[in-house]
Structure 1
Amino acid sequence: MKLERILAISGKPGLYELKLQTRTGFVAESLLDGKKITVGMRSNVSLLSEISIYTYAEEKPLVEVMEAIAKKENGGAAPQLKDDKAALMAYFSEVLPDYDQERVYASDIKKVINWYNILQAKGLVVLEEEVKETPKKTTKKAVKAETSTEEATEAKPKKTKATKASE
């Protein structure tokens, strides 16, 4: 799962994909409706790849938490537990058993689940097994190009330049 170009903008609903950086800020595209917006440098913006969840041992990157949700849901959407705080806490303790219950609030859990569902709807959530199972496709042209460049470098004799000392 790649979250390097996915943004959460304070005061704006949903997630955004970073499209273009400008002198005064950047252009982002909403993952919800596809509209492009310009965001100034004064806006509070967070990259999802930089967000972590508190646990009792260490901080867990959001990517790992999202992968745990994907494993639990088999790549499907997470349940919408908007109003039930106890159900939110129980669900999140199944996903991340050692999360710090004093520092991670129900609103944080709700936001993580909402973000996961947005990413899953856009097809950005990929289970690790799916990535490992899809082999890299090579075409005959790519194989020929690799062998021809290797043969060309081996066939050409290396020219040595004469130095002044050897002359």
Structure 2
Amino acid sequence: MEYNKLVAVSGLSGLFELISSKNDGAIVRSLNDKTTKFASSRIHQFSHLESIEIYTIRENVNLVDVFTVMKADTTPLPDVKDDKAVRAYFQKVYADMDFDRVYVSDMKKIVKWFDLLQKNNIEIKLTQAEEAETGEPEVAEETEAAPAKKKPAAKAKEEKETISEEEGTGKKEKAPAKKAAAKKAAKKKED
């Protein structure tokens, strides 16, 4: 099982492996009891663990960073039923966390999820980091290295839009409107 296939499903406790996605939901397998079920997108929302970020006093960090620090620390996991113990644990282990915006309920989920990942021997790392280690280019690098070519429709739209020079307002006008304004001005000069 890979970390990038794990999702949290609203309304259902625990973590799930995404088996297959469909237009109206997804088939997921629970990490708790290994049962497979269909979760409707009309009722549930799906959050990939890779996309979850945590508020800190600096910049937001990915959940993987918090899990990595938790794994490296020797402090035992707190009892999730004790709010003060959970908060004290994160103040010791990850002091940069913004405790005004990260609620105790969120911290409890992090502890539960981390425990599930440990029990299921899932390696905690992002897909992009894995690609960088293997030497394969990341998606972001590809877009920067190869400039995007203009599409004909975009080029035609650029040609149609011009900046209004008569008014000096900087508003965009369509080329036919500008031509009509120029004809009107020329007609006034003739009169």
TM-score, scaled to structure 2 = 0.60
Per-residue CA deviations over 1:134-159 (Å, capped at 9, x if unaligned) read xxxxxxxxxxxxxxxxxxxxxxxxxx
- Pairing of 1:71-110 with structure 2 (within 5 A): 71-73=72-74, 78-110=76-108
Structure 1: distance between partners of 2:115 and 2:33: 14
The residue number in structure 1 matching 2:56 is 55
* Aligned length, in residue pairs: 124
Residue 20 of structure 1 and its aligned partner are, at CA, apart by 1.2
Unaligned runs of 5+ in 1: 128-167
Q: 1:1-167 maps to which residues of 2 (within 5 A)? A: 3-42=3-42, 43-73=44-74, 78-125=76-123
Task: Indicate the SS of the match to 2:14.
Answer: coil
Q: Deviations over 1:24-81 (max 9, x none)?
A: 222110001111011222221111111111001011100110011110139xxx5242
Q: Supply the distance in 2 between the matched residues of 1:11 and 1:41 (Cα, whole angstroms).
A: 11
1:9 alignment partner AA: V
Letter in 2 for 1:34: K
Deviation at 1:15, TM superposition (A): 0.5
| Distance (Å, rounded) in 1 between the aligned partners of 2:52 and 2:39 | 20
Shift of 1:22: 2.3
The 1:48/1:126 distance shift into structure 2, 3 A limit, reads closer
Q: How much does 1:84 deviate?
A: 2.4
What's the % identity of the aligned pairs? 33
Label 1:41 to 1:102 Cα distance change in 2 as closer, same or farther (>3 A): same
Q: Which residue of 1 aligns with 2:154?
A: none
Whole-Å separation in 2 of the counterparts to 1:35 and 1:86: 33
The letter for the 1-side match of 2:48 is: L
Q: CA RMSD in A?
A: 2.1
8 A Cα contact 2:86 2:107, kept in partner: yes
Aligned 8 A contact 1:6 1:18 in 2: yes
User: Is the Cα–Cα contact under 8 Å of residues 78 and 89 in structure 2 kept in the other structure?
Assistant: no
Structure with more of its chain in helix, by fraction: 2
Query: Conserved in 2, the CA contact under 8 Å of 1:70 and 1:125?
Result: no
Answer with 99-108 or 35-44: which moved more: 35-44
Q: Residue 95 of structure 1 aligns to which amino acid in structure 2?
A: V
SS of residue in 2 equivalent to 1:4: helix
Contact 2:15/2:30 (CA < 8 Å) preserved in 1?
yes
Once the two structures are TM-superposed, the CA of residue 126 in structure 1 deviates from its matched residue by: 5.6
CA deviation after TM superposition for structure 1 residue 111, in Å: 0.6
What residue ranges of structure 2 are gaps of 5+ in the alignment? Answer: 126-191
When the two structures are superposed, what TM-score results if normalisation uses the length of structure 1? 0.68
Q: One-letter code of the match for 1:84?
A: D
* Pair member with larger Rg: 2
The secondary structure found in structure 2 opposite 1:97 is coil
SS of 1:91 mapped into structure 2: helix
